[in-house]
Amino acid sequence: MSQFDFLIRNGFVVTAQGINKADVSIAGEKISEVSREITADADEVIDASGKYVLPGIIDPHTHPVYLDDLKGLSRTAAHGGITTVIHYAYAKPGNELLEVIDNYKEDGEARSYLDFGLHGGLFDAENQAEDVPKAVEMGVNSFKMFMTYAKLGWMTDDYQLMRTMDIIAEAGGMGMVHAENGLATDYLQDKYNDKGLDPVETFLSTRPARLEAEAINRAISMAKVAGCPIYIPHLSAKAGVEVVEQAKRDGYPVFGETCPQYLTLTSDRVLSDGPLAKIGPPLREQKDQDGLWEGLRSGTIETIASDHAPKPKKSGDDFFDAPFGSPQVETMLALAYDGGVNRGKLTLPQLVERMSTNAAKIFGLYPEKGSLKEGSDADLVIFDPEMVHTIENETQHSNAYYTLYEGKECLGKPVSTFQRGKRLLDEGELHVEPGNGKFLETEIDH
């Protein structure tokens, strides 16, 4: 019997600390050694010459409830080089938070291709917040509220936001908010609707960057008062990055996330693609995109996540009635690499930190995840920096009807991945069965 199950030879091993030419050996579910040259024999030797070996990519923001369910979302994510996802377990008004968490957990354990954690999504914080301490005991430690979508009845007002953060802090968890001022944006939308103005042309004016920045500032302030760490998903505006940056300078426990759509697209796509490019917060201006890259580079923004939420919509649909969201998870790594590393906006170790290590640390999964150390879970990605490929909806594995990146050529692609020592993806084929994924309890370091 060989000493190792797999030996990955001659690759460039990339961690948050740097890039080193090294061999990686895997025994069972764990990385057993990373060193310049490993000579012991293995059941299977993989030549990774000219390729990068990255820790498994973690996507901490996914919604497995639209066109891709938990099984389908994990499948399309796996094809994009992701090995761990953290889904939002959405407790809609009238739902019991703990029951929702149980259902997601059970569904994931039965059908997920990937290891997964959960965030609680509180649509009705007033009636759901009291279950937060029990959710924490179940291994769910982060809880999102909406500061927007007032008309949909999903908004958490300031009273309940303050109260919920107080409860979350007490339970040792972390708050999260969709930060846009819901009442102010609803007023603006009413104003433009009353005037009979075109909803596509006025979409951006009804959800301006300043009202995102305002909500971020308000949420961070309440979190500070409550003593609650806070994570801001899907930062889209430079003004919002500046608020997070200032709060960090003041020593607040705040974390920032952005998404590939905000890093690669701008608002002109709303005019050209209509409902397909309707996402919330909206696609913004070039200066916002530049501000997000700078925020990532400086560390103000810790993570890149997909906010994968494919909805059944077509370009000719009524814009106003079309739902928010887009398919993103499979293209995320390739786009972030191409837009960030190839264009000199991030180094490769920075990209790895922001797409793997930071999320693992923030959500208490490190060093099992987010790391290529001896003893870490053998979750890794073999990435070919020379492979040119074109993104097409037809070859994606999502059930979405479209991709916002149709025809985009990218340089660099994940070609092979491992999860806990098993081959997950190789040459475009998945090698594990649904149900291989394991539920991961998160933990927030206070």
Nearer to Zn ion, 62 or 416 (CB): 62
Q: State the nearest-atom distance from the C-beta of 45 to Zn ion, in Å.
A: 41
Structure tokens at 233: 């998903």
Residue 240 contacts residue 284 (beta carbons within 8 Å): no
Q: State the nearest-atom distance from the C-beta of 305 to Zn ion, in Å.
A: 8
Total residues interacting with Zn ion, rule: CB under 5 A: 1
Nearer to Zn ion, 12 or 146 (CB): 146
User: Rounded to an integer, what distance in angstroms lies between the CA atom of residue 355 and that of residue 259?
Assistant: 10
Q: State the nearest-atom distance from the C-beta of 103 to Zn ion, in Å.
A: 19
Residue 263 contacts residue 339 (beta carbons within 8 Å): yes
Nearer to Zn ion, 144 or 397 (CB): 144
Beta bridge partners of 257: 303
Nearer to Zn ion, 124 or 307 (CB): 307
Q: State the nearest-atom distance from the C-beta of 439 to Zn ion, in Å.
A: 20
Give kind and range of the element (H or E) at residue 243.
Answer: helix 238-249
Residue closest to Zn ion, measured at CB? 307
Q: Would you count residue 257 as binding Zn ion (CB under 5 A)?
A: no
User: Rounded to an integer, what distance in angstroms lies between the CA atom of residue 367 and that of residue 385?
Assistant: 26
Q: Would you count residue 245 as binding Zn ion (CB under 5 A)?
A: no
Stretch that binds Zn ion, among 75-83, 248-256, 306-314, 416-424 (CB under 5 A): 306-314
Q: State the nearest-atom distance from the C-beta of 101 to Zn ion, in Å.
A: 17
User: Rounded to an integer, what distance in angstroms lies between the CA atom of residue 291 and that of residue 422?
Assistant: 39
Q: State the nearest-atom distance from the C-beta of 398 to Zn ion, in Å.
A: 15
Nearer to Zn ion, 59 or 307 (CB): 307
Q: Tell me which residue of 83, 82, 79 sits closest to 427, measured CA to CA.
A: 79
| Residue 282: DSSP 8-state | P
Q: State the nearest-atom distance from the C-beta of 11 to Zn ion, in Å.
A: 34
User: Rounded to an integer, what distance in angstroms lies between the CA atom of residue 160 and that of residue 237?
Assistant: 25
Q: Tell me which residue of 7, 12, 5 sits closest to 382, measured CA to CA.
A: 12
User: Rounded to an integer, what distance in angstroms lies between the CA atom of residue 136 and that of residue 101?
Assistant: 11
Nearer to Zn ion, 302 or 307 (CB): 307
Nearer to Zn ion, 166 or 307 (CB): 307
Q: Would you count residue 307 as binding Zn ion (CB under 5 A)?
A: yes
Q: Which residues bind Zn ion (CB under 5 A)?
A: 307
